[in-house]
Chain A
Amino acid sequence: MIAPAKPDLVTVNIDGQEIAVPKGTNVIEAARLVNVDVPHYCYHPKLSVVGNCRMCLIEMGMPAVDPATKAPIMDPATGKQKINWIPRPQIGCGTNVSPGLHVKTISPMVKDAREGVMEFLLINHPLDCPICDQAGECKLQEQATGYGRGYSRFVEQKNVKPKRTQLGPRVTLDDERCILCSRCIRFSKEIAKDDVLGFVDRGSYSTLTCYPGKKLENNYSLNTVDICPVGALTSTDFRFKMRVWFLKQTNVIDTESSVGANTVVWSREGTIYRITPRRNDEVNDTWLADSARVLYKAVKAADRLAATETIEALVARAAALFKSTPGAIAIVGSARSTVEEQFFTRHLATALKASAHLVSRVGQGDKLLISADRNPNVRGALVTGLIKTLPAQQLTDLAAQIDAGKIKAVVAINEDLAAAGLTAAQLAKVSIVYLGAHANATSAAAKVVFPTLTVFEKSGTFVNQQFRIQKTLKAVPAAAGATDDLVVLAQLVAAAGGAALPAELGSLWKVIAAEVPALATMTFANLPETGLVLDATPYAALPFVEGETLHYKPAQPAVAAATA
């Protein structure tokens, strides 16, 4: 990767530590770089700064200079330049660094300020922690342990506000808990570009609401829940389902489109409860589409396939089928499979001397985190050499070959052939070996069905629209009766007479690195959290369908997407 051009650096002193930070950084971010935490509520790194919560108060000062001579004034006691401390605390979020700036985050004044702010914030805050979904990841709870006073001096009645407002189809609001930081308002306005939220009334009666007649229903509404520092905005889907401290976090990649947004999957004992975004400043910042957060429901879907036979028996039947139709086999791979699976698919195609087809899915891009290409891994198929050109939306080629009787067997991996344009008659004409997690027309017509895993049950890699290869990890154990795609494919390759391939990722990546030049230096283990950008130049001529999205600009004008 090419290092970004050096921005102008400014040296500041935070709690006695000198650090050079880019110009324009605010004190909270600068302090973060020296591992000093400045508590804050309204500041969010990806939103504009409003400075209304006052939690980030710090003490600051500038080196003293003689107004007349501009000569530094030295402190005789320390022999260093004297610092003129500003007598009142300043907000860290709204203060950008300037050369020589000195900041104190640990001082009696700062502590007093934080305790004062906390006391005011807690005056009207309900004692809801036992029933609040934010408990455990609540910034108010966190700071209360450090700066709360433990009992309340407020003897009057607390404010009463609406507690169960449905702001939209996916977001529930508890106004009593809101600390009026306005993060949600700014997100709606600045990122989602759907300015529906606002405060009404004044003083302690201020209340967050939607504009009359509007709803918080854009496809990014759940990001307000993520950024709400308290439990005021909660996800209706996750509401009262499970306390967050029980949940195991696994880093996964969103497979909704070729953006490849980074996510965290929260699960407990094999059950997924929610999906939230994972910050990746090159891909999705801290955001995630609402539609990506319900994908986990596929894991426990009613139409999950489960094997009734041992995998060995299934492989034996598939092998017999391969033997009976030599040279007349086609493979339909998937751009939704991981890179590893596509690599195996390529091997299977070679071993069976079969042609490999892929199905493309194109939708409307939303210019944010959903791109036009709804396949997460078309570029993976290119990189592994499974395909040379971009896939078509319909399998017209294959259909013609079936009609001509040239193809007698089809191995369909994660793709519903009926949805890809084959008719029931064509499906009936061929023997199908199907690998997939869910039942569909193809699995119903198939001779051999291998139940496989959803993306949440397996590890692997995806290559997104930026040619960034990113790693997804297994969040929950495989469903009963389902086998890892890699295991199935490895056995099929072996049954077809191909090379023995390891299904375990560590050893598999040695093979991949040896065979795929673009991935020669990579291993699964050392793939960075933020992904690795591969060289896109060999594919520059291909007409990718994506339009512009967050952190992505197409190299050439997008080919007008044909409606699916």
Chain B
Amino acid sequence: MFDFYFEIPLVIRLILQGLAVIMVIFPIAGACSMAERKVAAWIQDRPGPNRATVPWVAWIPFLGKFLQRLGVFHVMADGGKMMFKEDSLPGHVNKFYFVLAPIVAMVPALTTVVAVPFGAYFDAAGKLIPLGLAPLDIGMLAVFAVSSLGVYSAILAGWASNSKYPFLGSVRASAQLISYELSMTLAVLPVFLWVNAPGTEGTMGFARVVEFQSQPGFLGGMWFGFLMPISAFIFLVALFAETNRQPFDTVESESDLVGSFHTEYGAFKWGLFFVAEYSHMIVGSGVFMLLFGGGWNPLPWVSLATAVDFLGTFLPFAHAPLFVGILSIAIFMGKVLAMIFFFMWVRWTLPRFRYDQVMKIGWQKLLPLSIANLLFYAIAIALIQK
């Protein structure tokens, strides 16, 4: 049915897919900003943004009103505003790097998506084919490598702004990102130790990790989040720190740093930082779900294959690759969105850590814990896989 698609030259296909992902990430980032406002409002017993509307939608009975109350048009209004606001360039900045910084921020945000599979389908042979832009063998490494480039944008922005708050903010940002990257990396190692059992073909790809969580049996179907709770916890905390989310958003701490490295930014350039932050969140949540949350498997001990088989009993087209693909993407996206909601929920619950506390948690608590965790699982895995 979709054979024509595979007849298009590979390059064009990849470009199309890449554009598709960008087209998805941007609106999701926008939607996330609205979700952020809505969640904040609900937690604070408010209805949240619910005024903006577009005439012809407002005429649709019921649905128009519903969409308006949901605040969807505020996303458009915000986006429009961001686009058409005067894009000011302060006189005292280093122009080239100042403009470069938000672009640099977007690069890792969009590139990391490449390595993350977001669904799967079964080919004719019943073999699981992951859906993703580039099913890289070194998936995890690629994500780590590229996403740590994000710190450059902070440094560039802070330095190019040529004023003290952005500068302090960027120094903080770089210190914080580097500190937590360490624990994060150490936290995922047990997963890959487990996946790359001696004798198997070694890989750092995500698909394999998900496959591992879809095996039959009690241990096989168990998500790594249950198997390695400490790893998951460390990864989660580090993820909060890496994405500068509350309670680790000391970088943007407006009470002492005004607006941190983007103090001098406005309009669309500022919007790019904003989108980059949400992209980081999306990708981070995706990675977390792939590693510790069973990827596209609907429930622990219920793998995608089992679910499809079960659906096949009453849905004739359940085994069609298209349906499976969409189903798996839906499951995966659902999980990612739940994760993002969790991010927001935490944000409107916890107060911000002080910067010294952030450093202390990172170096004195999280790092020793992740080393101990690694040692424990290394020994345990060695014993089990003997």
- The short answer to whether A and B are in direct contact, CB under 8 Å, is no
> Residues of B at under 8 Å CB distance from A?
none
> Residues of A at under 8 Å CB distance from B?
none
